[in-house]
Chain A
Amino acid sequence: MHIDELRLQCLSRHLTKWDLRSFGLVHALSEVTAAMPQLFDVDGAGILLADEEHVLRHVASTDASAKALESLQESVGRGPCVQSLVQDMVVATPDVLEDPRWPELGQLFAENGIRSILGAPVHLVGAPLGSLNVYKSTVHEWDESDHRALAAFETLVERLITASLALERSEAVATQLQEALRARIEIERSVGIVMALEDLDAVDAFQRVRRMARSARKPIREIASDIIKYKKIAY
């Protein structure tokens, strides 16, 4: 497996221009795995990521074999990809039928067209979070260039995940800002209604709305939307 450096650079540049907003992380990761067999001499690739309960979940795969590679390990809870995550190291299996570490998996892998596997951990802020895997349908001694190629892709995957998480955090604050703006305006509108109904000025009307919220033990925005809806002062 010799990595095509130039094509990887092109892909990397293409990916940073990607709009993760519309594609979504999973889609982006699927595109990365789909690109791997085109750039390396492998038959397929896949990504497993740990969920919030630290269970590895299949996220992306190039084909049915790559999917089987992941789902078999997902169900058994063991295997080269699981180990690469747990031990935070690259794990190579030149021949699944000869690997003494996963005797129960060898035959199952082979039946699904998988003969050799290379798995590398995927990190998020330094800690292993998942595993990136490639397979071949033939016996293969993974060499130094294979390891380097996989590491290059691992970096790409990590960058995508980091960017996606940062975006998610920003989106949460942005959504919160939108809601706060809306709530703030509702409150002013309800203050206006109370001003007209009770013949109060803005300061007293606001105090009035706040007292209502306090005695009803409800957030002020809820009281405000009740006032706007019913145009009367309950509580």
Chain B
Amino acid sequence: MVDGDRRSRVLGLLIGSGDNPLCASRLCEVCAQVTGMSGAGIMLMSGDVPRGSLCTTDKVSDLIEQLQFLLGEGPCVDAYHQDWPVLEPDLANPQSSRWPAFAGQAAEAGVRAVFGFPLQVGSVRLGALNLYRDRPGPLTDDQHADALVLSDLVAQSVLVLQATAQPGALAAELEEGADLHFTVHQASGMVSVQLGVSVGQALIRLRAYAFSNGIPLSEVAESVITRTLRFAATGDGSYN
């Protein structure tokens, strides 16, 4: 299939019909559908770190995004930094152990193959698209070509959504549709006061606590905000 046909077919799916206009949640569905994957997620990044998830198709995709936000490693993070597709056709038996913490947990959740594609507009990088499948195996040439077209169109679509925003503000569609981990950042602010450290360091402490206790970062953040968990300057954190 020539690239132009591929593009217009995907565009048709993204734009949808009149009563079903372009929206953040459908971006992921179309990505999974077109490439024939088990699921897809779109990660927004800025300043070199994951900022949040624009959409995910299912629980497993959501976990893939959450783990990368928690651990700072994974296919999207690499795709973003390397500015190139990152392909792991067999996550349970990877050729190289590039994501020691991510791979184990993702595989446990049923991810057998995972692929990251950078989202880029000109020289500005926006994040990455992740695709996963519940059985191992590489992408076919067609799937790979579709994913490239999709990541380009997804990046453009994100801009279409953002173009309506006031300068300096996020568009409502992105603000409401995306999971930008606001509670985690609020908790970082609180912990930075509790520990007398920078918010960046506080976020690291929160992540470490979540990881070592096997609790989702969002739950740890919720406990901090509701004051059931308080970090003390002496320890790693303790429940009141």
Q: Show the binding face of A for B, using Cβ within 8 Å.
A: 20-22, 167-168, 170-171, 173-185, 188-197, 201-202, 219, 221, 228, 231
Contact = CB atoms under 8 A, between A and B. Distances in A.
B188 A177 contact: no
A231 B193 contact: yes
A21 B122 contact: yes
B193 A170 contact: no
Contacts of B122: 20-21, 167-168, 170-171, 174
B85 to A, nearest CB: 16
17 contacts: A21-B123, A168-B122, A170-B159, A171-B124, A174-B122, A177-B46, A177-B162, A177-B170, A178-B46, A180-B169, A184-B182, A189-B186, A189-B188, A189-B189, A193-B192, A202-B183, A231-B193
A176 B174 CA distance: 13
A177 B158 contact: yes
Interface in B83-123: 121-123
Interface residues of B, number: 38
A168 B121 CA distance: 9
Contacts of B233: none
Interface of B: 44, 46-47, 51-52, 121-124, 126, 155-156, 158-159, 162-163, 165, 167-170, 174-175, 180, 182-183, 185-194, 199, 225
A11 to B, nearest CB: 19
B123 A188 contact: no
Contacts, number: 117
Pairs of residues from A and B, 3 with the lowest C-beta to C-beta distance, nearest first: A192-B189, A196-B193, A188-B185
A192 B192 contact: yes
Given A189-B188, A192-B189, A174 B165 contact: no
Nearest to A193: B189
Contacts of A184: 170, 175, 180, 182
A20 B168 CA distance: 27
A178 B124 contact: yes
Contact of A231 (B47, B165, B169, B192): B192
> Which of B52, B124, B155, B191 has most chain A Cβ within 10 Å?
B124
A167 B159 CA distance: 12
B167 A176 contact: yes
Given A170-B122, A181-B51, A202 B159 contact: no
A175 to B, nearest CB: 5
B189 A190 contact: yes
A17 to B, nearest CB: 10
A173 B189 contact: no
A178 B120 CA distance: 12
Nearest to B122: A171
